[in-house]
Structure 1
Amino acid sequence: MKIACLQTVCGATDVEQTLDRLRDAAGKAAAEGAELLIAPEMTVGGYPLQYAALAQSAGPAEGPQCAAVSEIAREAGIAVAHGWPERDGTHLYNAVRLVGRDGRPLAVYRKAHLYGRAEQELFTPGGSGVVQASLGGLTVGMLICYDVEFPEAVRAHALAGTDLLLVPTGLMSPWDFVAQTIVPARAFESQLYIAYANWSGEHGGLRFCGRTTIAAPDGTVECLGPTASGGDQLLFGEADPATLASARRTTPYLRDRRPELYES
Structure 2
Amino acid sequence: MVKVAMVQMDIEFGNPAKNFSRVGEALEQAKDLGAEVVVFPEMWNTGYDLENLPSIADRDGRRTKTLVGQLAKQLSLNVVAGSVATLKDGRFYNTTYTFDQTGKVIAEYDKAHRFGPMQEDQYVAAGNQPANYEIANLKSASLICYDLRFPEWWRTAGTKGVNVYFLPAEWPTSRIEQWEALLKARAIENQAFVIGVNRVGDDPNNHFNGHSMAVAPSGEVLANADEQAGITIVEIDQTAVQEAKQLFDIQNDRRPELYR
Whether TM exceeds 0.5 here: the answer is yes
Residues 78, 136 of structure 2: 8 Å contact kept: no
When the two chains are superposed, the root-mean-square deviation of aligned CA atoms in Å is: 1.7
Q: What is the CA–CA distance in structure 2 between the aligned matches of 1:87 and 1:119, rounded to whole Å?
A: 14
Q: What SS does the aligned partner of 1:98 have?
A: strand
Residues 53, 85 of structure 2: 8 Å contact kept: no
Percent identity over the alignment? Answer: 23
Corresponding residue number in structure 2 for 1:85: 85
Residue type of the alignment partner of 2:89: G
**Is 1:249 equivalent to 2:246 in the alignment?**
yes
Residue type of the alignment partner of 2:259: E
Corresponding residue number in structure 2 for 1:239: 236
How many residues align? The count is 257
- Within-5 A mapping of 1:42-121: 42-45=43-46, 47-49=47-49, 51-52=51-52, 55-61=55-61, 63-82=62-81, 83-116=83-116, 118-121=119-122
Q: What is the CA–CA distance in structure 2 between the aligned matches of 1:89 and 1:178, rounded to whole Å?
A: 35
Corresponding residue number in structure 1 for 2:15: 14
Q: What is the CA–CA distance in structure 2 between the aligned matches of 1:41 and 1:49, rounded to whole Å?
A: 13
Q: What SS does the aligned partner of 1:245 have?
A: helix
Q: What is the CA–CA distance in structure 2 between the aligned matches of 1:54 and 1:175, rounded to whole Å?
A: 30
Q: What SS does the aligned partner of 1:112 have?
A: coil
Residues 91, 124 of structure 1: 8 Å contact kept: yes
Quick one: structure 1 residues 115 and 217, their matched pair in 2 at CA, closer, same or farther if it must change by over 3 Å? same
Quick one: structure 1 residues 50 and 90, their matched pair in 2 at CA, closer, same or farther if it must change by over 3 Å? closer
Corresponding residue number in structure 2 for 1:224: 224
**Deviation per residue, 1:38-75 (Å, 9 max, x gap):** 10001222x242544762242103x2332111112122
**Deviation per residue, 1:174-221 (Å, 9 max, x gap):** 111232111111111111111111111223131113111111112111
Unaligned segments of structure 2, at least 5 residues: none
Q: What is the CA–CA distance in structure 2 between the aligned matches of 1:54 and 1:25, rounded to whole Å?
A: 27
Residues 5, 212 of structure 1: 8 Å contact kept: yes
- Within-5 A mapping of 1:148-227: 148-226=148-226
2:255 aligned residue (243, 255, 258) = 258
Q: Which runs of 4+ in 1 moved over 3 A?
A: 10-13, 50-54
Q: What is the CA–CA distance in structure 2 between the aligned matches of 1:54 and 1:176, rounded to whole Å?
A: 31
Offset, 1:103: 0.8
Unaligned segments of structure 1, at least 5 residues: none
Q: What SS does the aligned partner of 2:134 have?
A: strand
